[in-house]
Chains A and B, each alone.
Chain A
Amino acid sequence: MTARPTSTGTTAPPRPADDAPPSRPASSGPSGPRGTRRGLSPAARKRAEIAFFVAPALALMAVFIALPVLQAVRYSLYRWNGLGPLDDFVGLENYATALDNPVFRDAVSNNFLIIAVSIAVQLPLGLLVALLLNREIRGRSFLRVVIFMPYVLAEVVAGVIWVLLLQPRGLVDELFEAVGLGGVTQLWLGDPDVALWTVMAVLTWKYLGLAVILFLAGLQGVPEDVYEAAQLDGASWWQVQRRITIPLLGPTIRTWGFLSMIGSLQLFDMVWILTGGGPANSTVTMAIYLINQGTDRGLYGYASAVAVLLFGISLVLAVLYNTLVLSKDRDDAPRPRRQKKVAR
């Protein structure tokens, strides 16, 4: 909070002090005694200051975020193949077609299934691994690296490797056969009933590391004395985890849940590499459907409508999650929360 040099000396010191309290009763503290340019109330000055610092970021957001979204909304009202002028206005027809399209509906339900399964599988698994890796065990840092490695690998590289492993008679099949489980081998990516689950297994492999690292970081924030108190009371390891660690890890878990949800909604690259949305649309996600219709089919108007729907669905979910889940962490400000934690 630095005052701009030009403003000093141009105004008389007492004026702002007189002006400030009526205009900003609650927050007069910091800005009150400072000098302002003539004719500019402290409130306006502050606003100008904010505008000055925020404008570049807002301009970038406007050009690269707001504008494309608005453009997509505009395109979505036309039938347009990407070439030539926009002249075939169809209103909301593209939206109706999308909502009526079975493949799009499959894509939406696949996305929701992926959200549910990612959270249902990665949360307990991630917690378990994080709790284990938080204990003093031999080779702990090595294990942490191993768990985190898939997350660091580029998505496309990991995808291509998995495609090779999962081919019919590929390494995965051979491994199963080597341990006498030849019967469970499948057409991992080639069977419409299996492919989505294969994709989810690969996603779990890829993203478990993120959950574990976040949870481990959260665990470092749990104060030692709470554990000591619990141990004095004779709590078992499981009791300690269940009653102390996991509740105190709440904010971290909720943040991870948000990241996981958004990641699942945007899911594109891994699926694109593994299956391209097939076989028989069994692994299609909204993003894949969007690319298929847009770049491959040249239905840019329709694909824009799908993009807007994807945007809408994500926005609604994000806002819901924010108000229903993340608000817990927001309502109590940092200081009181720490006290509450210790007291609990």
Chain B
Amino acid sequence: MTRTALTSTPRRTHARRAASAVVALTTAAALAACGGGSDGGNAGGDENTLTWWHNSNTDPGAGYYEEVAAAFEEANPGTTIEISALPHEDMLTRLNAAFQSGDVPDVYMERGGGELADHVEAGLTMDLSEGAADTIEKIGGSVAGWQVDGATYALPFSVGVVGFWYNTELFEQAGITEAPTTMEELDAAVQALKDAGIQPISVGAGDTWPAAHYWYYLAVRECGQDVLTDAVTSLDFSDECFVRAGEDLEAFIGTEPFNEGFLATPAQVGPASASGLLASEQVAMELAGHWEPGVMQGLTEGGEGLGEKTGWFAFPTVEGGEGAPDAALGGGDAWACAADAPPVCVDFVNYLLSDEVQTGFAERDMGLPTNPAATGAVSDPALADLIAVRDSAPYVQLYFDTAFGENVGGAMNDAIALMFAGQGSAQDVVDATQSAAGTA
């Protein structure tokens, strides 16, 4: 054409090339930039509709919660409950987005600790202290993880503890007759399993938190309850016991007890995950929470999990540790109401924690009920044992990452995972956590 066209062509291509780079890269920027702007607003829209998100997306849980909602609707004419039963990870992702947009479902699950504190600070969660006073009293100490400055923001419906799940048959093969109760005995068991040609322990260090549970538990054993309680609020880890916990862990990692390639092993997804390895009898034990039998059932073809061979023992004690030997590490899920939910929401969460609903929950082995009236109804023997352990523990320390919130907890988990890779010292874990706490 003309000269203008000729000379302008390169400039345009230039601009376009630069622009394509910009497009590609801003996607990343946009990812981080999304969110913001909270315009509040009730998710359901009207005063008589409750939106309820939960993660029991398979039966019997899914069906049971439909019955529960129907029963509540019948008892409260005019109220409708809209249920979204989501897979767990999806629910977390969607909840995250919901918190950022400020458009939170009326009834949702809170994991407590620092996460809850962030939601409370942002004014997203309803104070249930008065509306649910009776329920709170009934549940007792478990509620502590869901309190901020003395006010209760969610009602825990299932609280479990972490411990070792093991394969009784493989233990027998290795000649281990009694479950280990001290770290020395655990070391001996690891050695016996290795001698018998069995991989002792699987750990999903690829997901970091399963590895971090070892450090948490050693800290629970090494540190007194008051030190832990202080640390959770002040984020001050200067007490020597935290370094000792790290040193204990380093020593334990040094005995090479873990499955092949554990640094990249996922926690629960797929047959090569830590849970999958235990379920398929390729390792003898795994440190995990009350969810483990259910996870293993999902990972085996017949839905059996380890079946009859399932055994459980508490995290071993540490000699000279200042923590109570029967203190436990655990956590759970609680029902919360969005700050802008209709008032009937409080009635509904109270109902969810009622003797009746919790008993049904227990009978279907959906978790470890917190309402004492329901604890006897758990039919699965492994879960029933866990309830006994939980209820006899002098205190249950909430998982540190949950207690500290995403930022500090995430930094702590990463530092512990590095220790598993042989790239961090006991002091590094404490330093990384402290420095994240400073920038939180």
Contacts and interface: CB of A to CB of B under 8 A. Distances in A.
B279 to A, nearest CB: 16
Contact of A298 (B2, B17, B123, B406): B406
Contact of A295 (B24, B96, B261): B96
A69 B264 contact: no
B255 interface: no
B410 to A, nearest CB: 4
A82 B260 contact: no
B99 A83 contact: yes
Tell me what chain A mostly uses at the interface: helix, strand, loop, or mixed. Answer: helix
B32 interface: yes
Interface in B1-43: 1-4, 6, 9-10, 13-14, 17-36, 38
Contacts of A292: 410
Nearest to A287: B28
Contact of A311 (B25, B99, B122): B25
Contact of A187 (B6, B38, B260): B260
B28 A266 contact: yes
A278 to B, nearest CB: 6
Contacts of B272: 164, 167-168
A168 B4 contact: no
B300 interface: no
Tell me what chain B mostly uses at the interface: helix, strand, loop, or mixed. Answer: helix
A219 interface: no
A319 B18 contact: yes
A61 to B, nearest CB: 7
B21 A318 contact: yes
B417 A190 contact: no
A296 B22 contact: no
B394 to A, nearest CB: 32
Contact of A330 (B10, B25, B28, B96): B10
A147 interface: no
Contact of B21 (A72, A306, A314, A330): A314
Most buried by A among B20, B118, B264: B264
Contacts of B27: 266
B384 interface: no
A50 to B, nearest CB: 10
B25 A280 contact: no
A26 interface: yes
B99 A72 contact: no
Contacts of B121: 83-84
A258 interface: yes
Given A81-B407, A326-B17, A330-B14, A290 B32 contact: yes
Contacts of A315: 18, 21-22, 25
Given A167-B261, A279-B264, A315-B21, A300 B32 contact: yes
Contact of B35 (A30, A300, A314): A300
A189 interface: yes
A333 interface: yes
A262 B24 contact: yes
B263 A298 contact: no
B206 interface: yes
A275 interface: yes
Contacts of B177: none
A266 B24 contact: yes
Contact of A296 (B36, B410, B418): B410
A115 B423 CA distance: 26
A45 interface: no
Contacts, number: 177
Interface residues of A, number: 68
Contacts of B2: 27, 29-30
B260 to A, nearest CB: 4
B21 A84 contact: no
A199 B28 CA distance: 21
Most buried by A among B22, B411, B423: B22
B262 interface: yes
A279 B118 contact: no
Contact of B206 (A72, A279, A286): A279
A81 B417 CA distance: 24
Interface in B199-233: 205-206
B33 A299 contact: no
B124 interface: yes
Given A278-B263, A279-B263, A298-B406, A83 B32 contact: no
B70 interface: no
B439 interface: yes
A322 interface: yes
A69 B17 contact: no
Contacts of A311: 22, 25-26, 28-29
B421 A280 contact: yes
Interface in A44-87: 61, 64-65, 68-69, 71-72, 75, 79, 81-84, 86
A208 interface: no
A82 B10 contact: no
A133 interface: no
Contacts of B244: none
Contacts of A169: 260
B100 interface: yes
Nearest to A61: B19
A114 to B, nearest CB: 15
Contacts of B421: 192, 279-280
Given A29-B2, A84-B123, A330-B10, A308 B29 contact: yes
B29 A83 contact: no
Contacts of B138: none
Given A279-B421, A298-B118, A299-B407, A68 B263 contact: no
16 contacts: A26-B3, A69-B30, A84-B38, A167-B272, A187-B264, A190-B264, A279-B263, A279-B264, A280-B263, A292-B410, A295-B96, A306-B32, A307-B32, A310-B29, A315-B22, A330-B13
For the complex of A and B, the 10 pairs showing the least CB-CB separation, nearest first, are: A190-B261, A279-B263, A280-B421, A83-B122, A68-B30, A84-B122, A190-B264, A318-B21, A72-B29, A27-B4
Interface of A: 26-27, 29-30, 61, 64-65, 68-69, 71-72, 75, 79, 81-84, 86, 97, 164, 167-169, 187, 189-192, 195, 258, 262, 265-266, 268, 275-276, 278-281, 286-287, 290-292, 294-300, 302-304, 306-308, 310-311, 314-315, 318-319, 322, 326, 330, 333
Given A280-B423, A318-B21, A322-B17, 5 more contacts: A72-B33, A81-B118, A291-B31, A297-B407, A297-B410
